[in-house]
């Protein structure tokens, strides 16, 4: 009976030790890096057919912090104007409209994608060819400017709209 109690105590001690190890403070002391607060992933730009003046960029913005992160604007030299847009559906008709900023809630990933939020390039200065890499600068409130490389890809936009569930 005494032996069982002894082993139980060891087990409980081991459990609490493991729990302690997993804290951020311990990880920092042990040199284990936690995930960055802001991660920009899968950035891509729609290839522009010859006659098109506009294009759009999409990416995933991951907020691992405990506070909301606000995207204020995007800069690029590929077009005269860069805006933040959302796609809305009004009486079954798809429309785009400008938004002041895009907020990424704490501990979440926001997906900028076709038919939803996107970065809009207005009056493209040159043709964008598939496979090209374009540098974009994203301006975040308090964090500042973050750069990301976006790959130019083909996108069947009409197909997407037909298959949309809304």
Separate counts of helices (H) and strands (E) for the chain: 3, 10
Q: Which of 37, 64, 65, 96 binds Cu ion (CB under 5 A)?
A: 96
Candidates 149, 161, 83, 166; CA nearest to 117 is 83
Q: Where does this chain touch Cu ion (CB under 5 A) — which range of 32-40, 57-65, 69-77, 117-125?
A: 117-125
Residues 42/151, Cβ–Cβ less than 8 Å: no
Closest distance of CB 110 from Cu ion, Å: 16
Sign of CA dihedral 126, 127, 133, 135: positive
Q: Where does this chain touch Cu ion (CB under 5 A) — which range of 59-67, 103-111, 118-126, 149-157?
A: 118-126
Count other C-beta atoms under 10 Å from residue 136's C-beta: 22
By beta-carbon proximity to Cu ion, the closer residue of 33 and 90 is: 90
Residue 152 to residues 46, 89, 111, 135, 163, Cα–Cα distance (Å): 6, 27, 17, 11, 23
User: In angstroms, rounded to a whole number, what is the distance separating the alpha carbons of residues 35 and 32?
Assistant: 10
Interaction pattern, residues 56-95, with Cu ion; x per rule: CB under 5 A: -----------------------------x----------
Decide if residue 152 touches Cu ion (CB under 5 A).
Answer: no
User: In angstroms, rounded to a whole number, what is the distance separating the alpha carbons of residues 81 and 95?
Assistant: 19
By beta-carbon proximity to Cu ion, the closer residue of 95 and 125 is: 95
Closest distance of CB 39 from Cu ion, Å: 24
Applying CB under 5 A, the site for Cu ion has a residue count of: 3
Closest distance of CB 119 from Cu ion, Å: 8
By beta-carbon proximity to Cu ion, the closer residue of 94 and 109 is: 94
Residue with tokens 């976006």: 150
Closest distance of CB 100 from Cu ion, Å: 14
Binding site for Cu ion (CB under 5 A): 85, 96, 120
């Amino acid at each position: 009976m005494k032996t069982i109690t002894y082993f139980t105590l060891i087990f409980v001690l081991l459990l609490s030790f493991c729990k302690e190890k997993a804290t951020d403070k311990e990880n920092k002391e042990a040199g284990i890096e936690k995930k960055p607060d802001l991660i920009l992933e899968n950035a891509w730009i729609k290839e522009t057919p010859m006659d098109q003046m506009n294009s759009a960029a999409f990416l995933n913005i991951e907020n691992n912090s405990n506070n909301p992160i606000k995207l204020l604007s995007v800069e690029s030299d590929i077009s005269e104007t860069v805006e933040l847009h959302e796609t809305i559906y009004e009486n079954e008709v798809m429309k785009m409209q400008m938004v002041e900023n895009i907020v990424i809630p704490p501990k979440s990933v926001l997906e900028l994608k076709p038919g939803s939020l996107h970065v809009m390039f207005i009056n493209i200065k040159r043709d964008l060819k598939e496979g090209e890499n374009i540098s974009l600068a994203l301006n975040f409130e308090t964090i500042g400017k973050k750069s990301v490389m976006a790959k130019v890809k083909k996108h069947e936009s009409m197909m997407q709209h037909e298959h949309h569930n809304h």
